[in-house]
Amino acid sequence: MIKVAECVICGSSIRNQRAAMVAPFLAQRIWNRRAFAVQLASCASCEFEFFNPRLEFGDEKRLYSAYRSEEYQRMRHASEPWYTTKFNESLSNEAAWQNRKRRLEPLLHDLLSNKRIESVLDFGGDRGELTTFLFPQAKRFVYDISGVETLPGVIALHSEEECRQHPFDLIVTSNLLEHVGFPRQLMQPITAIASPGTLVFHEVPFELSGGFMTMAKRIAQLAVLGVARPGVAVSLLKPGGLHIMHEHVNYFSSKSLDALMQQTGWKVLASGKYGLGDSSWSAQMLWTLAERESESKA
């Protein structure tokens, strides 16, 4: 882990840092240790919030190797009893992807109606589900450090160098940027892969670190742990126990997501937010569509 003194998106000063804790599962899987204290920082300029210190690439690789495999599920269930085999499978089953398609398809149709999308790279896209559901007629590629087997029709690329050997009309990342310690560093290979005029579409969860839904979920989880895993619950009964650094190590706003694009050589064309359900309480996603500029700032 690396502690930083400035925003990892825009480089501005950190406004404040609050007490937080690393989730027991994360601490065990990456460092083979118990939950420990970190801080939750916020940027005064771009409104980005993030846990500090930051995950390094080696930390991320240990966490996401064989992601959501049986071994991953068993380890996570040991400290999170709600993370059952059924729940693990529900995150990427047919019904979940059909819902994502229903939400995203009209949005992308409007955004890309005057664009020719013949080749798509899903960067960090697991098995390539997103492009399979949304761009079935395009030539589809995926690059992911997990090493999982891709879906039929999706071409797996195994290195950034291999990615650079193919031209792409569109690069997509979905539920990726909230997981990485240094988003600007992640954008460097994406920018290098792209050509001037290549489009990128990012989407991330819209979460508020101190929002009602976030706090309600943490309190409910602590209550469950108190009954099912009392030893794990005790490890979190410390200052910052409601601000948990889990797989989502970043909280993006529209401003910080657009700032990331502007800082790394991309021109923002459009950005917004959409819901994953039909009610006002449904989870929401932030998105941005940007075009690669001729000169990179990454």
Percentage, residues of the chain above pLDDT 70: 98
Contacts of 6 (CB under 8 A, 6+ apart): 12, 13, 14
Which pLDDT score, from 0 to 100, does residue 243 have?
A: 95
- Order of strands across the sheet with 266-275? 154-157, 139-143, 119-123, 170-174, 199-205, 284-292, 266-275
Residue 239: what are its φ and ψ, rounded to 5°?
Answer: -55, 130
- Give the residue with greater pLDDT, 272 vs 128: 272
- Give the residue with greater pLDDT, 200 vs 67: 200
For residue 123, list its beta bridge partners.
143
Contacts of 18 (CB under 8 A, 6+ apart): 39, 40, 240, 243
Place 133 in a pLDDT band, splitting at 50, 70 and 90.
confident
Q: What is the DSSP letter of 138?
A: S
Residue 298 reports pLDDT greater than 70: no
- 3-class secondary structure for 29-80? HHHCCCCCEEEEEEECCCCCEEEECECCHHHHHHHHCCCCCHHHHHHHHHHC
Tell the burial category of 86 from Cβ atoms under 10 Å away from its Cβ (0-12, 13-18, 19+).
exposed
Residue 281 reports pLDDT greater than 90: no
Lowest mean pLDDT among 9-13, 98-102, 117-121, 293-297: 293-297
Q: What is the mean pLDDT of residues 162-182?
A: 94
For residue 50, list its beta bridge partners.
41, 250
Lowest mean pLDDT among 70-74, 93-97, 232-236: 93-97
Q: What is the mean pLDDT of residues 195-209?
A: 93
Place 282 in a pLDDT band, splitting at 50, 70 and 90.
confident
Which pLDDT score, from 0 to 100, does residue 99 have?
A: 85
In the predicted model, what is the mean pLDDT of the chain?
A: 91
CA distance 288 to 203: 7
Place 296 in a pLDDT band, splitting at 50, 70 and 90.
low
Bridge-based pairing state of the strands 250-251 and 49-52: antiparallel
Bridge-based pairing state of the strands 37-43 and 49-52: antiparallel
Radius of gyration of the CA atoms of the chain, in A: 19
Residue 213 reports pLDDT greater than 80: yes
The closest of 5, 7, 25, 4 to 252, measured between CA atoms, is 7
Q: What is the pLDDT of residues 160-170, one digit of tens each?
A: 899 999 999 99
Which pLDDT score, from 0 to 100, does residue 297 have?
A: 52
CATH code, residues 113-205+253-292: 3.40.50.150
pTM of structure: 0.89
CA distance 248 to 181: 10
Give the domain ranges of the chain: 14-90+208-247, 113-205+253-292
Encoded tokens for 92: 């990427």
Residue 128 reports pLDDT greater than 80: yes
Residue 295 reports pLDDT greater than 90: no
Q: What is the pLDDT of residues 83-98, one digit of tens each?
A: 999 998 888 778 888 8
